[in-house]
Chain A
Amino acid sequence: MEMLNFIFDAASIAPGDFTGFTFFIGSVSMLAATVWFLMQHGQVDKKFKDSMLVAALITGIAAVHYFYMREQWVLDGSSPTELRYIDWILTVPLMVVEFALLTGVGMRKLFWASVVMLVAGYFGESGVTGMLDAQTWGAVSGLAYFWMAYEVGCLSIFGGPSGAVGNALASGSGKIPEAGRMLQWFVLVGWAIYPIGYMAGTDGWYAFVAIDEGAMNIIYNVGDAINKIGFGMAVWHAARS
């Protein structure tokens, strides 16, 4: 019973606590998506099995962290920044891996880009290095993000140039080009919430972006759910053909 309470205990969220509710919705939707992707794992073609497994892993890891984040939010109302970073550090590279699985190219470049993006973002937000300010680290992290967006072909949405991964997605077989376009939109629009959240949480020329913690967490929670589940759904779309 205690176990069920831990998972389904929405009652402990205070009435009107919309942020807490989005943590709850985030956790259960990630869990549901994990079950769905695992069920679909047996249904898809062999070459997509690893992709479905990685999709399930992404949402599974996120589900675990959203349970913890919800608990922290409900217990003391503090923003669970550390847990969020743990979740991102583990899941962002796995999302990058999905591109490599679909196309068979670009893993090295995308991994490098995600290492730079995460490390610089963390250095800027935590100030652990004592060097450079948050906006400089943010700029480095942002550049890595734009490099990644270029590599996966986000600019090709508007007829612009594309990196090797984007080209491989466009020339893929079956529904890969269609799924690739969805993934590119996720990277371009969905992932844009992360730099917005960074700017909202650190000092810099972008001080006008500052919003309160509750609102920032809502943006992150909704964005995370859409990005992670949506990413998996796009891969599943390609796989079910």
Chain B
Amino acid sequence: MNVVVKSKLAGLILAFAIIFFGLESSYSILLFLIVMLSIGIPHGSVDHIIAFINPKARKFNSKLIFYITYLSLIVFNIALWVISPFLGLLVFLIISCYHFGETQVIGYNPTDNKLLNFVVGANILLSLFLNNIVELQEILYIIPEFANLDLSAFDSVFFLLISVAILMLSIVNFEIKRKVLLYAEITILYMVFFHTDLLTSFALYFGFCHSLPMLMLEFEEFKNDNFIKFYLKTLPFTILSIIFGFLLYQFNNDLLTSDNLILFVFIIISSLTLPHVFIMKDFVKDK
């Protein structure tokens, strides 16, 4: 059993436990923070090494150019959210659809079919959002075009049906080596998204179907025999990211005129994701 499957199984067991025994919604923010800090951010905290590890990967002439490019993309994304939250969300969705899909198909198909990557990622995000649409509308109140949509005529079964129908059509219309297993995994995700709230759903998906498998693949790529040593390498930039987030939050009340912590975290995640996507695109090429 490879590391990707093992990581996903860990998430599956946790997801089933949460669905069976229920998780008070007041704990979902705690679960979200634990997963983000222990797995989510660390999986992107070795980008500065990953960018130089694969000879076929995008080449940066020096570490300095890498850091300037990487940080510029983060700043650009934050600025985009500040200037136009709608555009910020749009960019986040487009790059996330591609990135999540690309990593999702690892183990089921080569990652070179870009359209497939995008469609799979879009399927997952669509289901995550549709199954928790009311919560999402509350969080994204700064985007009135979205927050004011009246969806009261539709119930959760309808949204799940849309997700499953799109997934089925995607699966049969793309050449995928292991269609059934990909379909089965995404079906489990749909169940998780339906039965848990937005934060728990995102934490379970992002933590165990995306970040942990990637973290384990990075560990393999580093050829370290000790996972602790590898994990320690992720800490400096994880801590820097947290400090960066904290500082931005102090600044945020004036800048974003928003005191919504979840929205703030949403923006931080999207900003960290933008440069990370470009690094991972090369990293997963042969996976």
Contact = CB atoms under 8 A, between A and B. Distances in A.
A90 B192 CA distance: 11
B187 A90 contact: yes
A231 interface: no
Given A6-B20, A82-B156, A50 B180 contact: yes
Contacts of B194: 86
Interface residues of B, number: 31
Interface string A72-103: 00000000001001100110011001001100
Contacts of B23: none
Given A108-B172, A126-B155, A119 B165 contact: yes
Contacts of A85: 157
B191 interface: yes
A236 interface: no
A97 B168 CA distance: 10
Given A118-B161, A128-B155, A6 B21 contact: yes
22 contacts: A3-B21, A7-B20, A50-B181, A64-B16, A86-B156, A86-B191, A89-B157, A89-B161, A89-B164, A90-B160, A90-B164, A94-B187, A97-B184, A107-B171, A107-B179, A108-B172, A108-B173, A111-B169, A111-B171, A118-B165, A119-B165, A126-B157
B287 to A, nearest CB: 21
A109 to B, nearest CB: 9
A114 interface: yes
Nearest to B167: A93
B187 A57 contact: yes
A198 interface: no
Given A54-B184, A82-B157, A93-B168, 16 more contacts: A3-B21, A6-B21, A50-B180, A50-B181, A60-B16, A64-B195, A67-B20, A85-B157, A86-B160, A90-B187, A93-B183, A97-B180, A97-B183, A111-B168, A112-B172, A114-B168
Nearest to B164: A89
A10 interface: no
A108 B157 CA distance: 23
B171 A126 contact: no
Nearest to B184: A57
Contacts of A122: 157-158, 161
A236 to B, nearest CB: 17
B193 to A, nearest CB: 11
B94 interface: no
B172 A128 contact: no
A61 B15 CA distance: 12
A108 B171 CA distance: 9
A126 B160 CA distance: 14
A100 B19 contact: no
A200 interface: no
Contact of A111 (B158, B172, B195): B172
A6 B171 CA distance: 36
A101 B160 contact: no
A61 B179 contact: no
A222 interface: no
Nearest to A56: B184
Given A107-B172, A111-B168, A57 B188 contact: yes
A53 interface: yes
Given A82-B157, A89-B164, A111-B171, A64 B20 contact: yes
A115 interface: yes
Contacts of A108: 172-173
A91 to B, nearest CB: 8
A86 B158 CA distance: 9
A100 B168 CA distance: 13
Contacts of B172: 107-108, 111-112
